[in-house]
Amino acid sequence: MPPEEVGIWFGILVLMVVGVGLIAPPIGLNVFVVSAIARDVPIHKTYRGVLPFIAADIVRIGLLISFPGLALWLVRLLN
């Protein structure tokens, strides 16, 4: 992977990790916002509902770390 693409890959990876941090416990700022809007749903049920998405994000991050070329595959395909 050329050096200029490594910077783009790293930026994509950082954004994905920050996205997981916004929904993952213990901070989970987005989950707190959803819990404040849906007052009749307890926060532990909200976190339980988010767990499949966190698992999918962790798998996606693992794939991008294992195969960094995936981050720019579509861009290369369209050129």
Band of pLDDT at residue 58, cut at 50, 70 and 90: very high
Nearest 10 degrees: Cα torsion 33, 61, 25, 27: -60
Burial of 40-67, coded b for 16+ CB within 10 Å and e otherwise, reads eeeeeebbeebeeeeeebeeeeeebeee
Q: Judge whether residue 14 has pLDDT over 80.
A: yes
Across the range 35-59, mean pLDDT stands at: 92
Band of pLDDT at residue 45, cut at 50, 70 and 90: very high
Each domain of the chain, given as residue ranges in start order, spans: 3-78
Distance separating alpha carbons of residues 31 and 50, to the nearest angstrom: 8
pLDDT at 63: 95
pLDDT, tens only, 16-33 = 999 999 888 777 888 889
pTM reported for the whole predicted model: 0.81
